[in-house]
Structure 1
């Protein structure tokens, strides 16, 4: 492969260090609860001052690499798996040398997508120059392929669409990118970290509310039910607590600029990989100073990846503007695990110019499983998982479903068979897990075809 492949992670997906090189966001996996407790104070100190805009606050914080394992900042986003597996798979599958043909782009995810897009432009230009110098005559036609998870797709799109990156870009592939925002982001801004997690000794609500990036992840579609039941844009509802109105208005301008820039005669090839069939907050009702999420819009449950609604995982200008973006793949998978899903990787093989391995079977094989499991769990609480299967699916009420709860720190997984509740609903309950990060893998009929992975952080006792 002559092209340069660049992996852009999502929010929280980059390790951060302060001016002295001390980690402020680094530990993950099995040490995650300790990371949140010990680094939480540092993250609170990294609250951005008002007026940061599209600049760096000058506090010396810098990215130092991709997060390798399961990670989450409570009150900011849902748990996400790491990127080590994706980078290793890309290198092995396509013969790409890390740092040469394969580039990662860690960034300070607190900051505006515009700011990080400017850094991405510099990183790509330098990498292309190095690649051309190292392979004279061989890499003359080399261009860039972006593989972006979550918010990383917004960073890459701003570079490509607004900063001239389309001239060197072959295609942009997004995995669960909230092109039109996420109701979860709005909920975190408005509601804060209200339920528990006080025992963990850290509340990052004020930190989260200071971030331009989190406001840029808020829905860019009418999503909040007004007094008459009609849906309105969050930016048009004065008085929502936790919202910085200036940051939210600027986020609207950010999304509008993407739509305008992409509507040109030679649009960049964009492929949206979309998670489906997972219970996903899509709209909300504001009542008693709290945003109550709803899984429907216009009376329909369109689902999504558990974090990003299906309607938001492809650009708003996807139809009728000369910039069509089809769903390149719909994975029955949750947001935090899309980058490691086998069907998604088969799609990446196809999009990067090869044929998927035939022995893995067809994409999306197996019944569509909608998995509901807690992203954050209080210490001492039992862990309950509920799975729904559409009544239109074959054998929806006759499946033998199993769930394995894997500690991220390693150790023996706990296997449970799900109880059939009838009507395509199944459930299982685990005793209260120990503090730490967990991966729950739900399988139909004990096969890996159609398996869905949910991620959870269990809190620890207070100090």
Structure 2
């Protein structure tokens, strides 16, 4: 295969939970993925107390010896903290296969031939802290790359960022001088204006409502509430429905229950710094997942102790990628972008995203499609985790006005990550562009990729990620 020429340094940043972490002794404490994910989550739940951050940490490192080992390779996530996300090895491999970029390998210890950088980071910490590390690493790697050959002296940087990685990179580009050497900043499902799901986790606590899938609820809640990063993922838009209309969290007359008020206020300052930066947005390309039911606002319970999320803002459903609302992933001031019909955890491996990346990185598109068989936009609602014996329900909607949208044959295929039995189901046509199915057979514990698509329309496929658990409970669940 003829690879397309790319003379720049390409930097890939994963999202929250997307980097592997080790303790001071070098033992991996977070990074389980793929078939080992379920057991890895249990282990993490039992040891999470050691990773909880101290109060008043700010934009510093806690000095606890935690090291970063690189990006997580396969399906990962922690139920109740952040929904499942596919790994980054497929994206990195695709970049190497189709473009003249390569990662550093053991036979090239100096990295003179490497211009594909996998930037893992300690996702517990402030995005400001990680943006400073990104600045230092990019300065080092770009200087090395430019010095390695005369033709590379004018090389710049292209950032490809998933989820929270886009906040780290954008802060560097906008606030730390990164715009001077950046050619493109590509963000994929980045919550530039936050996600109500992050706020729900902080207020309601980890694991509430998970039934038999609960894991070390108290330690995990304390851990989540200690993270500056998770606070920086909370909404930077009016998101709380009250009797006075939609309010910003900063407009509430009281602190939110259980939430560190200073961390929340500092998160607002973080987003304000990006908005106020006078640097241009040249080369900024946000990729925005659309067409999926997405929590956008929230209301308080009667006692004011919990938040219930809503799929609407001012009564209107604007959708998103199931995790990040559309209004958040495409921030004010962005003049370009791409809108794949996909769920958050699978955006970086979506075929439409790959096509758009090709058009940004290469001089010519990969191929040209005709308009006669365009994709059907499927909105998919499916749980991210189920306990053994609990039903797994999939609901699909097709937007009104879609030609023959109520005559489709929609299939769901559940593939275990690793070995295991593949399960296929045809969804029931419920009329009016609605389809659904319920699986009641017990699932083998572990992660699954669930592909939902319309027959004859391969470009319509949406990929959901599912974690099936068993009925056993971790040692620290009491």
TM-score bracket for the superposition, by shorter chain length: over 0.9
Partners of 1:212 and 1:436 lie apart in 2 by 30
Cα pair 1:379 1:461 within 8 Å, conserved: yes
SS at match of 2:412: strand
Look up the SS of the partner of 2:342 in the other structure: coil
Aligned residue in 2 for 1:460: 470
1:398 corresponds to which residue?
407
Q: Is the 8 A contact 2:359 2:366 kept in 1?
A: no
2:297 to 266, 270, 283: 283
Distance 1:361 1:328, change over 3 A: farther
Q: Is the 8 A contact 1:64 1:106 kept in 2?
A: yes
> Corresponding residue for 2:30?
25
Normalised by the length of structure 2, the TM-score is 0.92
Match of 1:240 among 256, 277, 290: 256
Pairing partner for 1:422 from 427, 431, 434:
431
Deviation track 1:194-247 (CA, whole Å, cap 9, x = no partner) reads 01366554221111111000000000000001124x000123222322321100
Question: Where in structure 2 are the equivalents of 1:48-59 lying within 5 Å?
Answer: 48-59=53-64
Match of residue 77 from structure 1: 82
Name the structure 1 match of 2:380. 371
1:160 to 2:173 alignment: yes
Q: What secondary structure, in the 3-state scheme, does the structure 2 residue paired with 1:451 have?
A: strand
Query: 1:111·1:213 contact (CA, 8 Å) conserved in 2?
Result: yes
Partner of 2:118: 104
RMSD: 1.6
1:386 equivalent in structure 2: 395
Report the Cα offset of residue 300 of structure 1.
Answer: 1.1
Asked if structure 2 preserves the Cα contact closer than 8 Å seen for 1:369 and 1:387, the reply is: yes
Q: 1:361 to 1:45 in 2, by over 3 A?
A: farther
Deviation at 1:363, TM superposition (A): 12
Q: Is the 2:376–2:457 Cα contact (8 Å) retained in structure 1?
A: no
In structure 2, the CA distance between the partners of 1:333 and 1:409, relative to structure 1 (3 Å rule), is same
1:215 corresponding residue in structure 2? 231
TM-score w.r.t. structure 1 length? Answer: 0.94
The offset of 1:445, in angstroms, is 1.2
1:308-457 correspondence to structure 2 within 5 Å: 308-316=324-332, 318=333, 325-358=334-367, 365-430=374-439, 431-457=441-467
Aligned residues: 452
Tell me the SS of whatever aligns to 2:337. strand
1:120 has 2:134 as partner: yes
Is the contact between residue 387 and residue 471 of structure 2 (CA under 8 Å) also seen in structure 1? no
Counterpart in 1 of 2:49? 44
What secondary structure does 2:460 align onto? coil
Q: Pick which of 155-164 and 373-382 moved more.
A: 373-382
- How big is each residue's C-alpha offset from its partner over 1:307-365, in whole Å with a ceiling of 9 and x where there is no partner? 0000000223x1xxxxxx13421100000000000000000000113323226667993
- In structure 2, the CA distance between the partners of 1:64 and 1:361, relative to structure 1 (3 Å rule), is farther
- Is residue 33–residue 460 contact of structure 1 (8 Å, CA) maintained in 2? no
Relative distance call for 1:327 and 1:401 in structure 2 (3 A) is: farther
Offset at 1:434? 1.7
**1:206 partnered with 2:212:** no
Between 213-222 and 21-30, report the one with greater CA deviation. Answer: 21-30
- Between the aligned partners of 2:29 and 2:390, the Cα distance in structure 1 is 29
Change in 2 beyond 3 A, CA 1:244/1:133: same
Aligned residue for 1:10, secondary structure, equals: coil
Which runs of 5 or more structure 1 residues have no equivalent in the other structure?
319-324
- Which digits, 9 at most, give the CA deviation of each residue in 1:373-419, with x for residues without a partner? 10122232121100011112111111100000111123332110000
Correspondence for 2:208 among 188, 194, 199 = 194
1:322 match: none
- Gapped runs of 5+ residues in structure 2? 1-5, 105-113, 474-478
User: Match for residue 91 of structure 1?
Assistant: 96
Judged with a 3 Å threshold, the aligned counterparts in structure 2 of structure 1 residues 360 and 82 are, in CA distance, closer, same or farther, namely farther
Q: Secondary structure at the match of 2:444?
A: coil
2:28 paired with 1:11: no
Q: Is the 8 A contact 1:402 1:446 kept in 2?
A: no
Larger mean Cα displacement after TM superposition, 353-362 or 294-303: 353-362
Paired residue for 1:321?
A: none
Rounded to whole Å, the distance in 2 between the matches of 1:65 and 1:363 is 43
Structure 1 pair 138/32, CA: closer, same or farther in 2 (3 Å)?
A: same
